[in-house]
Amino acid sequence: MKVEGQDWFYSKTVKEHFMKPKNFLNDLKEVKGFNGYGKTGNMKCGDVMEMWIKVADGRIKGCKWRTFGCASAIASTSILSEMVTEKGGMKIEDALKITGKEIMERLGGLPAVKVHCSVLGDQALREAIKDYEKKQSNKKTKQNK
């Protein structure tokens, strides 16, 4: 998708989420009781993302993140955290289906060189869900013992 001849470098939505990011982690206390954590990316590529989720009744009730990266990386995690928590929270099976493309569309497009940022967002989320599921199965195993 091409973003040209506009009044900013990215779409309006990216700008909003970059300038005023939603749900970023201010303090570790905020994720007390959260039950899933994921991390992705590396410094070499210039993007690192962390995501905490709180799952209850199969739905994502809370989502917090931290991002080292460019405007589109920050906006990607910000909007993703909104997507998964809005309307009472997304079911985790639906959350697992979120693609970078959907994030990008919701952001109103990204320049070609920045598309990978949106992919990183859903990767971090998936890691967090995996972590949640692992913890759950651990719990079950324990209970079953």
Partner 1 sequence: MKKPKEIYLDYSATTPVREEVLKEALPYFSEKFGNPSSFHSRGLEAKNAIESARKRIAKILNCEAEEIIFCGSGTESINLAIKGIAFRELAKGKRGHFITQKTEHEAVLKTMDWLKRIGFEITYLNVDENGLIDLGELTRSIKEDTLLVSIMYANNEVGTIQPIKEIAEICHKKNTLLHTDACQASEYLDLNVKKLGADLMTLNGSKVYSFKGTGLLYKRKEIEIEALIHGGGQESGARSGTENVPGIVALAKALEIAEWEKKKEAKRITALRDYFIKRVEKEIPKAKLNGHRTKRLPNNVNFSFEGIEGESLILYMNEEGVRLSTGSACSSKSLDPSHVLTAMGIDHGTAHGSIRFSLGKETTKKELDFVIGKLKEKVEFLRRISPVWKKGKGVRKK
The CA R_g of the chain, rounded to the nearest whole Å, is 16
Among 29, 32, 33, 113, binds partner 1 (CB under 8 A): 113
The window from 19-27, 87-95, 96-104, 134-142 that contacts partner 1 (CB under 8 A) reads 19-27
Q: Is 117 marked active-site?
A: yes
24 binds partner 1 (CB under 8 A): yes
DSSP labels, 9-27: SS-HHHHHHHHS-SSB-S-
The site string for partner 1 over 73-102 (x = CB under 8 A, - otherwise) reads xx----------------------------
The window from 6-14, 54-62, 99-107, 132-140 that contacts partner 1 (CB under 8 A) reads 6-14
Q: How are strands ordered across the β-sheet holding 47-56?
A: 36-42, 47-56, 59-68
- Report which secondary-structure segment, H or E, holds 141: helix 115-144
Among 1, 46, 94, 97, binds partner 1 (CB under 8 A): 46
What percent of the residues of the chain are helix, what percent strand, and what percent coil, each to the nearest 5? 50, 20, 30
The single residue listed with the structure tokens 């967002």 is 121
Q: Are 13 and 75 in contact (CB under 8 A)?
A: yes
Q: Are 36 and 53 in contact (CB under 8 A)?
A: yes
The site string for partner 1 over 49-78 (x = CB under 8 A, - otherwise) reads xx--------------xxxxxxx-xx----
Q: Is 45 marked active-site?
A: yes
Which residues sit at the interface with partner 1, rule CB under 8 A? 4-9, 18-19, 21, 24-26, 39, 43-50, 65-71, 73-74, 113, 116
| Active-site residue list | 45, 117
